[in-house]
Amino acid sequence: MLHLIATEHGADLATAVADQMVYNAVREGTAAQRVSLQSRHGMRCQHLTRAIRLMEETIETPLAPRAIAEQLDISTRQLERLFGKYLNTSPKRYIVEMRLHRARNLIVQTEQSITQIAMACGFNWTSHFSKVFRSHSGTSPITQRTTLA
């Protein structure tokens, strides 16, 4: 099924569907349903795993990388090095991408207003959310919703 979606609609949509279905391989009935952070990112760094978990838990009120580093008892520079080494990005970019990924899911899967989605993803202003969304996806949140509806 995912191959068909990728062929007809592109790899990004197939990946989004797989993420939504929490599907990465055929599993035993007793196996855990959620994919662990370590498996999802292919790393075993405890500081990075804890940082990502903290980012996910605070998505509605995102923490600055400095605050995340303080909670992990490491320097901001060390946090930046870990993100660069294992994920080839910065903590700030990772947070933005995570928030936009959640926003795309909410746009497609819910009837929430764009304002509600912006707030749920940690954006205080709908105009700022729309600007960031458009700069990353090439389309506005409203266009995204009508295109995929």
Question: In the numeric block, which tokens belong to residue 124?
Answer: 């205080």
> If pLDDT is split at 50, 70 and 90, which confidence band does 147 have?
confident
Question: Is residue 33's pLDDT more than 60?
Answer: no
The average pLDDT across 19-23 equals: 62
> If pLDDT is split at 50, 70 and 90, which confidence band does 28 have?
very low
Phi, psi torsion values for 59, nearest 5 degrees: -60, -35
The whole-chain average pLDDT of the chain stands at 85
Contact residues for 143 (Cβ-Cβ < 8 A; gap 6+): none
Cα–Cα distance between 94 and 87 in angstroms, integer? 9
Q: What is the largest CA-CA distance in the chain?
A: 47
**Residue 119: other Cβ atoms inside 10 A:** 16
Range list of H helices, 22-75 = 37-41, 46-57, 65-72
Residue pLDDT, tens place only, 103-116:
999 999 999 999 99
Surface-to-core class of residue 121, CB atoms within 10 Å of its CB (0-12 exposed, 13-18 middle, 19+ buried): buried
Q: Kindly state the DSSP code that residue 122 receives in the 8-state scheme.
A: T
Ordered by where they begin, the domains of the chain are 1-30 (no CATH), 95-148 (1.10.10.60)
> Which conformational region is residue 138 in: left (phi greater than 0), alpha (psi within -120 to 50 degrees), or beta?
left
Question: Is residue 27's pLDDT more than 80?
Answer: no
